[in-house]
Amino acid sequence: MSQEKLTLNDIAALIVLIEPTDIADLGRARRALNIIAESSPASVQGPITKAVKKIDQITRRKPSDPSGLLADIGVLIEKAIDAMEESAEEETSFSSSKPCSVSTVRPSAEVERSNSLSPEADPTLVGDFIAESLDLIASFEAALLELESDPENSEAVNTAFRAVHTIKGTSAFLGLDFISAFSHQAESFFSRIRDKEIRCIGGYADLAFRSADMLKDLIRIVQNSLGGEPMVTPKGLDHLMALLAKLEAGDVSAEVGETQEMRLRDILVTQGSAHREEIEMSSAAQDDQPGQSIVSDRNASLPEVGPALGKQRRMYATETAAESSVRVHTDRLDRLIEMVGELVIGHSMVAQDEMVNSGDYPELQRKVNHTDKIVRQMQDLCMSIRMVPLKATVLKIARLVRDLARRREIMINFIPSGEDTEIDRNMVDLINDPLVHLVRNAMDHGIEPPEERERNGKPRSGTLLLKAYHSGGNVVVEISDDGRGLDRNKIIQKAIEKGLIDSDKGISESEIIDLIFQPGFSTADTVTDISGRGVGLDVVKKAVETLRGRVDVASEPGKGCTFSVRLPLTMAITDGMLVKVGNQRYILPTVNIDMSLRPDAEALSTVAGRGEIVMFKGKVIPVFRLHRLFNIKGAVEDPTRGLLVIIGDGNQRCALLVDELVGQEQVVTKSLGDGIGKVQGIIGGAILGDGRVGLILDPQGIATLARQTSNPERATEVACRPGT
Amino acid sequence: MDNQTSATLAKTGQGNQEINPDRTLKGGKFLTFLMDKEKYGLEILKVREIMGMMDVTSVPTTPAFIRGVINLRGKVIPVVDLRLKFGIEAKEDTQRTCIIVVHLAHTGQEMTMGIIVDEVSDVLDIDQNQIEPPPSFGPNIRTDFILGMGKVDQKVMTLLDIDRVLSEQEIALVESSAGKKGH
C-alpha cells in the first residue's frame, strides 16, 4: 500500500538510505519506480527503467561494487526528477494524479479530507493502529508533562518525537493523510525542540499539549469511522497546523542551521564532500526527508549523502530499543483465565478426593501436591498477565491537574507516587472516572487560590498527592490535598437547606462525611465548569461500589482532605467468605464484610414487633435474617446461636444472620445465565471446590431487598395492632 | 445483564401473543419425554445433552418453576422444572428424572438452559403429515408454545416449541415476580 504513495523524491531519499544488502527496501523502491513509470511521460520513464535495471543487477547478480551501482541509481533518479519537473510544468494536470506525499508540506488549507477510510485499509490494521497510537499518545503526553517540569530533558523530547514520528509513519501507510499531515507538523515542531532551538515551556508547551489533544481527536475520528461514521476533520485542525507551521516559518531563515538537517550537514562538511556555505544555502527546512533537500539543491550528490545519512540513522537506531511485548486480544486472555479457573477447581476436586487423602497412596498424594503447586503458580501468572500498572491513569490525571490549575489560576504541585501499582486491566478504565471526579473535587473545593493560601500561612502553591499502593489484596488510591478540608458548618447548612437533615444535633463526623456522598450535594456556592453541580461524590461512591470497593474520607479543617479509594485487585476473582444458611451455602465478598459476631441476648431488641436491631459498640444496626429473606428452611433462628455478619458502611450498614462461617474461598464470578437475568441480592454464581454452584451475595442488594420487604409489612402490622 | 433485562422488558411490551409467521410444522427428529404420564416431543436440534439429576443450587427470589442453577462444565446455567412450569403437581425426583440441556436462540438472544423432566423416552422420526396444528381451546388458553400435535402409533403427543415455552416473556415474568415468592 505504502509503495503507491511514494513519489520520486521519496524514492530518492529511500535510495540514499538503503544499504546495498537491504533487498526488501530495494524491492520497495523498485515497485514504487515501476508504478511511477506507468503514469509518467516518456522522458521520465527512460531514467526510471534504467534505474530499475540497476536495482535488478544489485539484487540478482550480487555485483562486486553494489555501492557504486546504488550511486548510479541515485543519479538516474535525479534525472527522472528533473524530467518530471519539466513535464509537470508543461502539464499541470499531472499533479492531480500524483498521490499526496507525506513529505510534501502543503498549506494547511489544502489538506485532503477523506470522507471514509480508503477501501484498501484493512480494518484489523486500522484497529492495531488505533491501539498503538493511543499508547503512543499516552507516552507522548507523559513526556510533555516531564518536559514541562524539566525542559532540558532530552530523553523526554526524544520520546515525544518518536511517538509522533511513528504515528506519522503508520498513518501515512494506512493512507490517513490528515493524520500524517498533522503529525508531520507536530514532528517538525518537536525536532526543533529536540535541537534546542526552542524550549518546551509556556506557549510552546501549550501548543504541544494541544497537539496531543488533536492527535487524540484524530484517532477517535478514525475509530468512529470503523463503525461507519464519516471522517470529518475536527475543528481547529487547520488552525493548529497553521500555528505549528507558522512558528516554523517565522524564524526558519535565521535558525535553519539548528534544525535536524544541521547535523547531517555537519557530517557532510566534515567529510569534505561539500562546502559549508553551499549547504547552508539550501533552505528547505520543511522537508521531512533529511538529505533530500541537500541533494535536490545539488550541494552534494546522492551517493555522498547516502553514507552520511546512514551514519545518522544508525545513531538514532540505538535510541529506539524498546522492550518487547505482544498484543493479545482480551477475549483470549479472559478465556485463558476462565480455563485456568476451571483447572483450579478441577484440581481441587482431585485433591479433595477420598482416595488421595486416605493415606493409602502416598505416591499419589505426593504427585497431587506437586500438581497443586504448578496450578497455583499458573493461576498467579494468569492473574499477573491481566494486571497493568496504574501509570496511564495517573498520567491522565496529571494532565487534568495541569489544565485545571491553569484554568482556575491556582498553583499546584502534583506529586504522584506508586504509579507502578498494578491493577486488573478491566478495572483501569472503570476507576478512571471516579479518580478524575475526586481530583476535580480536590482542585475546586480543596485547594485555595494563592492569595488565600498566603493569608492562611500556607505556601502559595498547593500540593496534590496521588498515592497508589497494595494493601491486603486491595489496591488503594489516595488523593490528598492540603487545602481547606471539609467545612463542617457549610456541609450542615447545605444539608439542612436540601432537607437531608433537620438540625446538626448529635451528628457525628462520619455522618457528616456520609452527607457529602448524597446525590445532588454540593457546597460550592457557584457552579463552575469544573465542579459544583452536585453530581460528583455520589457518582464516585456508586462507581466504586459497583467495583466492589469503597471510599473513605479523612479531613482536617484548614489542613486538607484525603479521599482513599479501596478496590479489589480484580473483578474476575472474588475473595469471599463461605457462609452456611440452612442447607444452602453462599459466598459473601470479603470486601463488604466489616466483622462478624455472635451477639448477646441483651444486645438484641425488636422494634415494632418486626424490625430487629443489634446494639454494637454503641451503634444501632438493623438485623436481617438471610433465611427469611431467601425463604430457606432449617436455618438457625436464634441470633445468639447463629452469627451476625456486619456488612456495608454508613447508612447501608446492616447485620446479616447466618448459621456459621464455613471458610474463605477465592472464586471466579460467573453470570447465572441469561435465562434467569438479574436476581436481587445475588451478584452471580461461582463454582465451588466441590463442583457445585455457589451464589455470591450482593450486600447492597440484600439490604435494599430487606427494606423493601420489611417496610410494608411493618406498616400493616402497625395498622393491625395499633396498641403496640 | 442490565441491558438485556431492559431489552427483554421492552420487547414484552410490544405484543404478547403474536404468532411467529416463519414457524412451520416441519417434520424431523424429536426427542420425546414423559411428564405426568403424558408424552411430549422436543426438536432434537435444540437439545445439547441429557444428564441425570444432579445437585441444583436454588436461587432465592425466583419463581418456583426455576429450580436453580447447575455447573455445566464450568458454565453456570439455569434449570427449569417443567412440571411446575406447566402447572403440574410437583413430584419427588426419581432415578429416572433427567435434565435436558437445550440451547435456545429466540429473537437473537442465545442461551443455554436445563429443563427437568420425569423421564426421557426416545428419539422419534415424525413426518410432516403426522403433525397436526395445535388445537384451539378458545381465546383464553395459550397454545402458542405448542408446535403441533404429533400422531405416532395411534397416540398423540404434544410437540413443544421450547423457545416459546422458555420465552423471554417468561423471563420477564421471572423478573417481575422476583421477591414475591419470599414470604
Give the pLDDT confidence of A275-321 residue by residue, as tens digits: 544 544 544 444 444 445 444 544 545 555 555 555 555 455 444 44
Q: Return the top range by mean pLDDT from A224-238, A263-277, A434-448, A502-516.
A: A434-448
Q: Could you tell me the residue ranges of all domains in chain B?
A: 2-177
pLDDT higher than 60, residue B12:
no
Q: Return the top range by mean pLDDT from A335-344, B16-25, B64-73.
A: B64-73
- Across the interface, of B1, B71, B178, the residue whose CB is closest to A680 is B178
How many helices and strands (H and E) does chain A possess? 25, 18
Tell me the pLDDT of chain A averaged across its residues. 73
Q: Any CB–CB contact under 8 A between B1 and chain A?
A: yes
Nearest Cα to Cα of residue A591 among A647, A539, A535, A643: A647
Q: Does this complex have an ipTM over 0.90? A: no
Fold of the domain built from segment(s) B2-177: OB fold (Dihydrolipoamide Acetyltransferase, E2P) (2.40.50)
Contacts of A695 in chain B (CB under 8 A): 57, 59-60, 69
Which residue type sits at A177? D
Q: Any CB–CB contact under 8 A between B105 and chain A?
A: no
In A584-629, the DSSP E strands lie at 584-589, 593-597, 604-607, 611-616, 619-625
Q: Is A325 exposed, middle or buried (0-12, 13-18, 19+ CB in 10 A)?
A: exposed
- From residue A170, give the alpha-carbon distance in Å to each of A181, A183, B78: 12, 11, 48
Model pLDDT, residue A88: 60
Q: Return the top range by mean pLDDT from A639-643, A680-684, B95-99.
A: B95-99
Q: What is the dihedral of CA A306, A307, A308, A309, to 10 degrees?
A: 50
Q: Any CB–CB contact under 8 A between B18 and chain A?
A: no
Model pLDDT, residue B115: 92
Q: Comparing B27 with B55, which gets the higher pLDDT?
A: B55
Identify the CATH class of A573-720.
Answer: mainly beta
Contacts of A679 in chain B (CB under 8 A): 59-62, 178
Pairwise CA distance, residues A661 & A643, whole Å: 8
Model pLDDT, residue A591: 76
Contacts of B4 in chain A (CB under 8 A): 674, 677
Q: Verify whether the Cβ–Cβ distance B182 to A708 is below 8 Å.
A: no
Pairwise CA distance, residues B34 & B98, whole Å: 10
The Cα of A576 is separated from the nearest Cα of chain B by a number of Å equal to: 18
Q: How many Cα atoms are found within 13 Å in the side-chain-facing hemisphere of A86? A: 10
Model pLDDT, residue A447: 83
pLDDT higher than 60, residue A1:
no
- Across the interface, of A630, A676, A687, the residue whose CB is closest to B66 is A676
CATH number of A121-253: 1.20.120.160
Q: How many CB pairs under 8 A join A and B?
A: 110
**Are A518 and A500 in contact, with CB atoms under 8 Å apart?**
yes
Q: Comparing A358 with A715, which gets the higher pLDDT?
A: A358
pLDDT higher than 80, residue A173:
no
Q: Comparing A397 with A94, which gets the higher pLDDT?
A: A397
The Cα of A363 is separated from the nearest Cα of chain B by a number of Å equal to: 29
- From residue A15, give the alpha-carbon distance in Å to each of A19, A300, A302, B144, B171: 8, 15, 8, 75, 68
Pairwise CA distance, residues A672 & A693, whole Å: 10
Read off the DSSP letter of residue B46: G
Q: Among 3.30.565.10, 3.40.190.10, 3.20.20.70, 1.10.760.10, what is the CATH number of A390-568?
A: 3.30.565.10
pLDDT higher than 80, residue A196:
no
Cell numbers at A402, concatenated: 495541569
- Across the interface, of A678, A685, A693, the residue whose CB is closest to B5 is A678
Tell me how crowded residue A127 is: count the other CB atoms within 10 A of its CB.
13
- Across the interface, of B75, B77, B171, the residue whose CB is closest to A677 is B171
Percent of chain A with pLDDT over 70: 73
Model pLDDT, residue A340: 84
Model pLDDT, residue A302: 52
Model pLDDT, residue A263: 45
pLDDT higher than 60, residue B21:
no
Q: Comparing A379 with A313, which gets the higher pLDDT?
A: A379
Q: Verify whether the Cβ–Cβ distance B57 to A694 is below 8 Å.
A: yes
Whether pTM exceeds 0.80: no
pLDDT-based confidence at residue A713 (cuts at 50, 70, 90): very low
Model pLDDT, residue A171: 79
- Across the interface, of B76, B104, B109, the residue whose CB is closest to A672 is B76
Cell numbers at B125, concatenated: 422420526
pLDDT higher than 70, residue B64:
yes
Q: What is the rounded average pLDDT of the residues A60-83? A: 73
Model pLDDT, residue A714: 41
Pairwise CA distance, residues A158 & A392, whole Å: 19
Q: Comparing A51 with A255, which gets the higher pLDDT?
A: A51
Pairwise CA distance, residues A482 & A67, whole Å: 66
Q: Is A677 exposed, middle or buried (0-12, 13-18, 19+ CB in 10 A)?
A: buried
